[in-house]
């Protein structure tokens, strides 16, 4: 083999580490070498000048629309937010007692959870990386609490996992044993100089030191014999109870079961801890905006069409209560209606723009909240928040609530599915969805069915005014349609999660609004 330059050797080494230990080991190795990534947008644009005397019609009172309205008002613009729903927030919704939803072609559902209980059936997590969302929770004093997004003590339950099929394993056990075995293998290879003779002696020492720590290997012979982080079969206690550690899961069994693939050394961006949630429900953010915008938002106003004539934009509206038609005229329009809906509206756009609107697909997504009479996951299994990882068809995850610890009842997330799974389940009635979720959940938690109280489910692709969970761009559409939509047309600009690289996140909606009001202000000030 040709001798490579030191930097190339390091890269090649990382490549090999990934091949042996998967991305988890690769990322940990990178971190051990101090290589990191960071990028943030954490405040609205500082705009100078004034919008006095100019009116902006904002279509949609989701987070993008309300962010724009809030910031443009500060600049002196007259804003009018036109919202079809009777409430603000768009997808930023929370189902609690009395909340109702009727999917297109579906039965009406009214949430029957006990007072104080809720499910965030739309957005549920605020990652630390989303400083834009956190900017407003801080500004508006929306109290936050930690959302337990990663819980080593939660179960992994796989039906197609070879020797571990149908068995509940703690994530901590799988993590500890998988990493221990991989670290042992790699450490022995490094020690035997099998991996890469081009690694410097110093790097070899550092890597061995890291692997001993990573895999809890014995210094003497670099063997993994288990670690207490994997948990105990019997926990230590007082008197004559030293505890009984688990025997490590075998490397071969772990490999053939593939359960090691359910975790990674670090969470994907933006799933890093610390993850937050607003105390009492995600819609607290929407309510905080709505309170500040007051009468600037007009509810029950469904946008029917847009027309641009001269230096004005005219928006035709239908009152969803009375059916009365009206119109609003403005100097500019910022449209935050999801593209899945906007393409069904007569916007008077050019063919090129209309074509661009059609290019993006929207994710079918579904969630179900199940109120349980007893928090058996805490009482019986000591699982406080986090996700149960499973391959049970159509479930994806069962997630336990991150609030109300040790109370009597709780609402858990019974499934959170996408794509085909979401489409299939959305064809079921609410009662059938509940049954589907119970049949799966009781395989993992025996008291599931007996503890069940009532449920609330949503299939976002069947929700009017959304018609999908979030925009899903492919590479080609990012190149062709995305720049066209970012530009807007004439006096109409677009904003929303769909015009960001943070699709499916509230931060995408907020940062898109920040970006587009800057553009709008530039045009209006020209
Ligand atoms: C299941 C699910 C899970 C998610 N999880 C997270 C998460 O954990 N964390 C996170 O940060 N984000 C999450 N998101 C994404 C987040 O909810 C969205 O990115 C964000 O709320 C989108 O805001 P928006 O203003 O762009 O659009 P929307 O909130 O959809 O706002 C658009 C507004 O336009 C209105 N509208 C539509 N049509 C018309 C019309 N004809 N006339 C008038 N008004 C109209 C709608 O009623 C709505 O109020 C999740 C979304 C879903 C669906």
pLDDT at 28: 43
pLDDT at 199: 83
Mutating to test ligand 1, I would choose from 59, 60, 328 the residue with most ligand atoms within 8 A of its C-beta, which is 60
Q: How far is the CA of 193 from the centre of ligand 1 (A)?
A: 54
Q: Which atom of ligand 1 is nearest to the CA of 508?
A: 19
In whole angstroms, give the CA distance from residue 119 to residue 503: 21
Check residues 391 and 41 and name the one with the higher pLDDT.
391
Q: How far is the CA of 84 from the centre of ligand 1 (A)?
A: 13
By three-state DSSP, how is residue 308 classified? strand
Residues with C-beta less than 6 Å from any ligand 1 atom:
59-65, 82-85, 90-92, 122-126, 302-303, 336-338, 341, 345, 365, 367, 460, 465-466, 469-470, 496-497, 504-509
Q: What is the mean pLDDT of the chain?
A: 92
Q: How far is the CA of 97 from the centre of ligand 1 (A)?
A: 21
In whole angstroms, give the CA distance from residue 200 to residue 196: 9
Q: How far is the CA of 505 from the centre of ligand 1 (A)?
A: 9
* Closest residue by Cα to residue 133 from 296, 273, 336, 286: 286
Q: How far is the CA of 427 from the centre of ligand 1 (A)?
A: 22
Write out the DSSP string of 146-200: E-----TTSEEE-SS-GGGTT-EEEHHHHHHHHHHHHHHHHHHHHHTT-S-TTS-
pLDDT at 197: 67
pLDDT at 452: 99
User: For residue 220, is pLDDT > 50?
Assistant: yes
In whole angstroms, give the CA distance from residue 499 to residue 493: 11
pLDDT band at 198 (very low <50, low <70, confident <90, very high): low
Q: How far is the CA of 286 from the centre of ligand 1 (A)?
A: 11
pLDDT at 15: 44
| Tokens found for residue 430 | 């609410």
Which residue puts its alpha carbon closest to atom 33 of ligand 1?
A: 60
Which residue puts its alpha carbon closest to atom 50 of ligand 1?
A: 123
| Tokens found for residue 78 | 């007259």
pLDDT at 455: 98
User: For residue 322, is pLDDT > 80?
Assistant: yes
Instruction: Report pTM.
Output: 0.91
Q: How far is the CA of 339 from the centre of ligand 1 (A)?
A: 11
Q: How far is CA 43 from CA 1, 38, 504, 511, 513, in A?
A: 51, 16, 20, 9, 12
Q: What is the pLDDT of residues 248-299, one digit of tens each?
A: 999 999 999 999 887 887 888 889 899 999 999 999 999 999 999 999 999 9
Q: Which atom of ligand 1 is nearest to the CA of 460?
A: 53
Which residue puts its alpha carbon closest to atom 29 of ligand 1?
A: 90
Which residue puts its alpha carbon closest to atom 48 of ligand 1?
A: 90
pLDDT at 116: 97
Report the pLDDT averaged over residues 83-94.
98
Q: How far is the CA of 91 from the centre of ligand 1 (A)?
A: 3
pLDDT band at 39 (very low <50, low <70, confident <90, very high): very low
Q: How far is the CA of 63 from the centre of ligand 1 (A)?
A: 7
Q: How far is the CA of 255 from the centre of ligand 1 (A)?
A: 40
Cβ atoms 103, 450 nearer than 8 A: no
Report the pLDDT averaged over residues 456-470.
98
Q: What is the pLDDT of residues 128-154, one digit of tens each?
A: 999 999 999 999 999 999 999 999 999
Mutating to test ligand 1, I would choose from 62, 270, 339 the residue with most ligand atoms within 8 A of its C-beta, which is 62
Report the pLDDT averaged over residues 53-73.
98
Calculate the dihedral angle through the C-alpha atoms of 449, 452, 455, 460, rounding to the nearest 10 degrees. -40
Q: How far is the CA of 335 from the centre of ligand 1 (A)?
A: 13
Contacts 24+ apart (CB under 8 A), 50-53: 50/75, 50/76, 51/75, 51/76, 51/77, 51/78, 51/521, 51/524, 52/76, 52/77, 53/78
pLDDT band at 379 (very low <50, low <70, confident <90, very high): very high
pLDDT band at 3 (very low <50, low <70, confident <90, very high): very low
Q: What is the residue whose two structure tokens read 């029950």?
A: 300
DSSP state letter for 248: P
User: For residue 350, is pLDDT > 70?
Assistant: yes
pLDDT at 457: 98
Q: How far is the CA of 500 from the centre of ligand 1 (A)?
A: 13
In whole angstroms, give the CA distance from residue 113 to residue 369: 9
In this structure, of 12-16, 154-158, 359-363, 459-463, the range with the lowest mean pLDDT score is 12-16
Mutating to test ligand 1, I would choose from 81, 87, 91, 337 the residue with most ligand atoms within 8 A of its C-beta, which is 91
pLDDT at 21: 44
pLDDT at 35: 37
Which residue puts its alpha carbon closest to atom 12 of ligand 1?
A: 505
In whole angstroms, give the CA distance from residue 396 to residue 99: 25
Mutating to test ligand 1, I would choose from 421, 460, 465 the residue with most ligand atoms within 8 A of its C-beta, which is 465
Q: Which atom of ligand 1 is nearest to the CA of 124?
A: 8
Which residue puts its alpha carbon closest to atom 52 of ligand 1?
A: 122
pLDDT at 203: 92
Which residue puts its alpha carbon closest to atom 34 of ligand 1?
A: 60
pLDDT at 352: 98
User: For residue 13, is pLDDT > 90?
Assistant: no
User: For residue 48, is pLDDT > 90?
Assistant: yes
């Amino acid at each position: 083999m040709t001798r490579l330059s030191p930097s190339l050797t390091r890269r090649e080494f990382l490549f090999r580490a990934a091949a042996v230990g998967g991305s988890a080991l690769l990322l940990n190795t990178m971190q051990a070498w101090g290589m990191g990534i960071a990028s943030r947008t954490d405040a609205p644009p500082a705009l100078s000048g004034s919008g006095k005397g100019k009116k902006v019609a904002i279509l949609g009172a989701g987070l993008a629309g309300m962010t724009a309205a809030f910031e443009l008002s500060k600049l002196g613009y007259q804003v009018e937010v036109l919202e079809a729903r009777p409430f603000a927030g768009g997808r930023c919704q929370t189902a609690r007692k009395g909340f109702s939803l009727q999917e297109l072609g579906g039965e009406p559902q009214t949430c029957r959870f006990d007072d104080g209980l809720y499910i965030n059936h739309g957005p549920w997590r605020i990652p630390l990386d989303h400083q834009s969302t956190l900017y407003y929770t801080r500004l508006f004093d929306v109290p936050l609490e930690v959302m337990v997004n990663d819980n080593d003590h939660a179960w992994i339950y796989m039906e197609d996992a070879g020797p571990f099929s149908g068995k509940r394993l703690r994530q901590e056990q799988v993590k500890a044993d998988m990493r221990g075995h991989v670290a042992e293998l790699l450490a022995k290879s490094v020690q035997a100089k099998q991996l890469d003779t081009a690694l410097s002696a110093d790097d070899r020492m550092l890597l061995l030191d890291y692997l001993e720590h990573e895999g809890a290997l014995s210094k003497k012979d670099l063997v993994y014999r288990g670690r207490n982080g994997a948990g105990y079969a019997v926990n230590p206690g007082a008197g004559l109870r030293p505890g009984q550690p688990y025997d490590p899961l075998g490397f071969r069994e772990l490999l053939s079961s593939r359960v090691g693939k359910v975790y990674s050394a670090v969470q994907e961006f933006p799933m890093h801890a610390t993850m937050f949630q607003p105390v009492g429900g995600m819609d607290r953010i929407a309510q905080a905006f709505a309170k500040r915008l007051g009468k600037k938002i007009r509810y029950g106003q469904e946008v029917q069409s847009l027309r641009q004539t001269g230096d004005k934009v005219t928006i035709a509206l239908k009152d969803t209560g009375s059916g009365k038609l009206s119109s609003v005229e403005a100097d500019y329009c910022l449209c935050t209606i999801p593209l899945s809906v906007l393409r069904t509206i007569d916007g008077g756009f050019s063919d090129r723009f209309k074509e661009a609107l059609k290019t993006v697909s929207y994710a079918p997504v579904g969630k179900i909240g199940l109120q349980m009479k007893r928090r058996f996951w805490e009482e019986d299994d000591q699982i406080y928040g986090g996700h149960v990882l499973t391959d049970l068809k159509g479930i994806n995850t069962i997630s336990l609530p991150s609030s109300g610890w040790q109370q009597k009842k709780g609402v858990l997330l019974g499934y959170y599915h996408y794509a085909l799974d979401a489409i299939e389940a959305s064809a079921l009635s609410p009662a059938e969805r509940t049954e589907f979720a119970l049949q799966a959940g009781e395989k993992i938690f025996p008291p599931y069915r007996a503890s069940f109280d009532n449920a609330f489910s949503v299939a976002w692709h069947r929700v009017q005014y959304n018609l999908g969970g979030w925009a899903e761009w492919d590479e080609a559409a990012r190149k062709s349609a995305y720049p066209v939509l970012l530009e807007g047309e004439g006096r109409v600009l677009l904003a929303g999660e769909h015009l960001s690289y943070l699709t499916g996140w509230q931060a995408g909606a907020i940062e898109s609004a920040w970006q587009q009001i800057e553009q709008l202000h530039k045009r209006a000030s020209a």
